[in-house]
A and B are shown apart, each in its own frame.
Chain A
Amino acid sequence: MPGGPMAEATSDAPAPPRRPFAMARSGRLTGLVKLLLAVAVIVALWQAIIFWWQVPAFIAPTPGAVAGAFVSHFQEIVSSIAYTLRSVLLGMGLALILALILAGLFTLSPLLSRALLPLVIILRTAPILAIAPILILIFGRGLTTSIAVVVMVSFFPIMVNAAKGLGSTPPNALELMRVAGATWGQTFHKVRLPYALPYVFTGIRLASAGAVLSAMLAEWLSGAPGIGTFILEASSYRDQPRMWAGVVTSVISAVAFFALTTQAERRLAG
């Protein structure tokens, strides 16, 4: 009989529930150092190329000029990127909800999934460029159109992965819920969804890679005041430093967003 105290059961566990805190922390630190190094190398290369080949300022500005533009347009850049990120977050959130609903319906009926999946794939393969004018017509030139474009791009990878995850529940766990007299909803949220979580997060990570870019695409077409429009405007004024300040901001945001979802996937579902 187990006389063993609780401490023994948890600390010497053979299963790896979570990485020890210290390790995770030092891993993040070296990650930050690596990131800073990479940025430094890129900036140095950028400066060196302009210096050696004497690239004129109207083709590519120096890092210093871009930094200057960043400082002088700081307010506008912050509000633009905030606008874009808001449409990204809202769009991804909505895509997640819709994807879970549809994937959940698919587990209810294989027939439904066979009927609806082609429709979803058509929506997926239709070029956003062609659909955007219709979206603008319906949703106007504001945030809603950006959100709709992000939803359209993000929905598919999340839905496909969620459907796969929801379908991968161990049969004996489903049998357990059936014997317990559980409703479909109880089985979904107590068993199917938790088992599907790692898959859902993989879908979110895949979708997040293109989410910022698709929000910017929507802004180029609708003129909504996000970072995409900021870049487009600067470019039309041939204000290279200002444009590149916007580009660098959008790239950093996109990478950070992707890194965030990757972290979330690792922590919550790993």
Chain B
Amino acid sequence: MSDITLSDVGMMFDIGHRKITALRGIDAVLPSGSFTALIGPSGCGKSTLLRLIADVLAPTSGEIRIGDHAPDAARKRHEIGFVFQDPTLLPWRSVVENIRLPVEVAGQPAARQPEELVELVGLKGFEQARPAQLSGGMQQRVAIARALALSPKVLLMDEPFGALDEITRQKMNIELLNIWRETGTTAVLVTHSISEAVFMADRVLVLSANPGQVADRIDIDLPRPRALDLMQDPAFHAHENAVRAALFSGERTAA
């Protein structure tokens, strides 16, 4: 199983003359196959938290487990899919070649064919294009397809839809929920959009800044599968309001 357990996780950065506490005392359990949204002000440590879970950085205090192991075990077994805040595509590789990168690295058969993933993210016809020939939003969709290539047990996404227009964004969200349901991956999504967080997640962790802490946790018990008309539902608005209240109260206590 690949539930993610965070126990009293803290992260301090040493930037020469002083230390920055990016995260402090993060406690959370993200059950296997669940969908969690992270929301919070800029600079509160969302990207840092994803990096810690992916074993890009090691926490300076506390402990992280993925299933029964430390995160490096999942990383080395190629079980983590990561959509970075920047697309981070290799400029000399075509779209399909970029998507195939994790498959090449793992030396395992692809869970989904790169061509199929290209279609899924709406880039059919651009298989052989280079990243420089794509718009920012298209590049970001390639990055999403790449993260899905191996059907990862843990899927970490850092504002993957930030560069997309509203309609494409909604489409991608629906596609993402389908994939998530099919594969049973444990998903964590960083977003600045309250409605996106509520629409996608089982639970929303609201972070506050300086230092980054969990200000509140809001469970979203809306039925699945979720469709766009859910956004008209009063229950949906109630959850949105709860997240907004938590976000702003975090802001007030910090100020």
**Residues of A bordering B, CB below 8 Å:** 1-6, 9-10, 13-15, 17, 170, 172-173, 175-182, 186, 190-191, 194
Report the contact-size class of chain B (Cβ under 8 Å from the partner).
20 to 34
Whether A175 lies near B133 (C-beta < 8 A) is: no
Assembly CA distance A1 to B138 (angstroms): 10
Whether B80 lies near A179 (C-beta < 8 A) is: yes
Whether B125 lies near A181 (C-beta < 8 A) is: no
Interface residues of B in 215-241 (CB under 8 A from A): none
A249 to chain B, nearest CB (A): 39
**What residues of chain B lie closer than 8 Å to A10, measured between beta carbons?**
128-129, 133
Assembly CA distance A263 to B94 (angstroms): 25
Contacts A4-B125, A9-B125 given; indicate if A172 touches B86 (C-beta within 8 A): yes
Q: Which 8 A-B pairs have the closest CB atoms?
A: A15-B132, A13-B133, A179-B82, A181-B78, A180-B105, A9-B129, A172-B88, A182-B105
A253 to chain B, nearest CB (A): 33
Cβ proximity bits B115-144 to A, threshold 8 Å, 1 near / 0 not: 000000011111111101110001000000
B51 to chain A, nearest CB (A): 8
Assembly CA distance A172 to B125 (angstroms): 27
**What residues of chain B lie closer than 8 Å to A186, measured between beta carbons?**
105
Assembly CA distance A5 to B127 (angstroms): 11
**What residues of chain B lie closer than 8 Å to A179, measured between beta carbons?**
54-56, 75, 80, 82
Query: Which chain B residue lies CB-closest to A183?
Result: B105
Q: Is B183 an interface residue (CB 8 A)?
A: no
Whether A180 lies near B128 (C-beta < 8 A) is: no
Q: From the candidates B102, B122, B126, B168, name the one contacting A180 in the complex (CB within 8 A).
A: B102
**What residues of chain A lie closer than 8 Å to B134, measured between beta carbons?**
9
Whether B101 lies near A2 (C-beta < 8 A) is: no
Contacts A14-B133, A15-B130, A194-B90 given; indicate if A177 touches B84 (C-beta within 8 A): no
**Residues of B bordering A, CB below 8 Å:** 51, 54-56, 75-78, 80, 82, 84, 86, 88, 90, 92, 101-102, 104-106, 122-130, 132-134, 138, 168
Assembly CA distance A175 to B75 (angstroms): 12
**What residues of chain B lie closer than 8 Å to A176, measured between beta carbons?**
82, 84, 88, 101
Interface of B is mostly: loop
6 further A-B pairs in the complex, CB-CB below 8 A; given A6-B125, A14-B133: A5-B125, A6-B129, A9-B125, A17-B130, A173-B90, A190-B101
Whether B56 lies near A2 (C-beta < 8 A) is: no
B19 to chain A, nearest CB (A): 21
**What residues of chain A lie closer than 8 Å to B92, measured between beta carbons?**
194
Whether B101 lies near A180 (C-beta < 8 A) is: yes
B69 to chain A, nearest CB (A): 13
Assembly CA distance A10 to B126 (angstroms): 9
Whether B133 lies near A181 (C-beta < 8 A) is: no
Query: Which chain A residue lies CB-closest to B125?
Result: A6
Assembly CA distance A172 to B51 (angstroms): 11
Whether B129 lies near A175 (C-beta < 8 A) is: no
Assembly CA distance A3 to B123 (angstroms): 9
Assembly CA distance A176 to B55 (angstroms): 11
Whether B78 lies near A180 (C-beta < 8 A) is: yes
Assembly CA distance A59 to B122 (angstroms): 76
**What residues of chain B lie closer than 8 Å to A172, measured between beta carbons?**
84, 86, 88
Chain B CB within 10 Å, residue with most, of A17, A172, A179: A179
Contacts A172-B84, A179-B75, A181-B76 given; indicate if A6 touches B128 (C-beta within 8 A): yes
Q: From the candidates B78, B90, B106, B132, name the one contacting A14 in the complex (CB within 8 A).
A: B132
Assembly CA distance A170 to B87 (angstroms): 12
Assembly CA distance A14 to B126 (angstroms): 15
Assembly CA distance A186 to B88 (angstroms): 17
Assembly CA distance A178 to B88 (angstroms): 13
Assembly CA distance A6 to B133 (angstroms): 11
What are 8 A-B contacts defined by CB distance under 8 Å?
A: A1-B122, A2-B124, A3-B125, A9-B125, A178-B55, A179-B55, A181-B75, A181-B80
